[in-house]
Amino acid sequence: MTERVLPVLEDLQEAWCRISPHLHRTPVMSSHLLDQLTGANVFFKCEHLQKAGAFKARGAINAVLSLDDDAAAAGVATHSSGNHGAALAMAASARNIPAHIVMPSNAPRVKKEAVAAYGGLIIECEPTLAARESTVATVIEQTGAHEVHPYNDSRIIAGQGTAMLELLEQVEDLDVVVVPVGGGGLLAGTAIAVKESNSNIEVVAVEPEGADDAFRSFGLGELQPQNNPQTIADGLRAGLGELNFDIIRKHVDTILTVPDTVIVQAMQLQWTRMKQLVEPSGAVSFAGLLEHPERFRQRRVGVVVSGGNVDLDNLPW
């Protein structure tokens, strides 16, 4: 069962206490060159340096440690083609329980290796959403494992929000924070962290143009489906979750979109100027600054770099 109660700041703070012993307090970097380029004062929150290479470890650890012993005994299950699978496998291994990760047969080799390296049990399925969901259902029926949804879950949202609690502690007087949006776990957690502690700070989300269901939903005030997403940012192809959308409507100021060309440009700048290996989805927030510089000029901007799990055999240039 996933949990779908709206989390509040106190839930994030509890999550932070729960997960801190198991995770990195990731550093904040800045770059004189990128400040010059954007005209802003940018603070990069380096979640690509988090365990398992992405912020996803925060939510996964929080969910796994929140289970009581009975619920945990049979392990956890999810379907994932990306970072959530590896993060859940890592979290489960920290508690010494099994993690059943359903992965589409066309998932990148590097993602499968990451799940396996953390001791996750990989169950392959056809690369369709229907096959993924039915395979997870079968796994749960057979094993009694507890499902942990990658974003539409209050424990996951609370966990992801801890990255922003950290950033607010590390950098004073931010004017605006910028995060990517896919399913909406990081964005919802970020929005709670910011607005319930300092509502003057603006919360901006950035989404790839080719997977813009959050942008459309936000504009229309009603959850819209993700239709055939086409973007290099493979971590942001998921459709926005319901619980996530409820929080985003309440707390987020703006959703911007960026074309893939600018995502690649942002990624290259973070590689060559900052020497940081950022994955396409991880570069989307900075791409927002490149595409919409007028919104950020002369402001103190917190940018979440969400992940760094790149397939080196498949670079976009």
Residue numbers of the site for a copy of itself (CB under 8 A)?
A: 27, 48-49, 53, 110, 268, 271-272, 274-278, 308, 312-313, 315, 317
CB of 193 to a copy of itself, least distance (A): 24
Instruction: Decide whether 32 or 228 has the Cβ nearer to a copy of itself.
Output: 32
Instruction: Decide whether 240 or 264 has the Cβ nearer to a copy of itself.
Output: 264
3-state DSSP call for residue 224? coil
3-state DSSP call for residue 169? helix
- What span, in angstroms and rounded, lies between the C-alpha atoms of 267 and 274? 10
Report angle CA 286, 253, 45 to the nearest 5 degrees: 35
Contact of 171 with 143, CB cutoff 8 Å: no
Task: Give phi and psi for 141, each to the nearest 5.
Answer: -60, -40
The region, left, alpha or beta by phi > 0 then psi within -120 to 50, assigned to residue 55 is: alpha
For residue 139, the number of C-alpha atoms closer than 13 Å in the C-beta half-sphere is 27
Structure-token pair, residue 202: 């603006």
Structure-token pair, residue 297: 């000029």
Beta-strand ranges (E) seen in 149-201 are: 176-180
Structure-token pair, residue 268: 């290259």
CB of 286 to a copy of itself, least distance (A): 15
What angle separates helix 83-95 from helix 109-117, to the nearest 10 degrees? Answer: 10
How many CB atoms neighbour CB 74 within 10 A?
Answer: 15
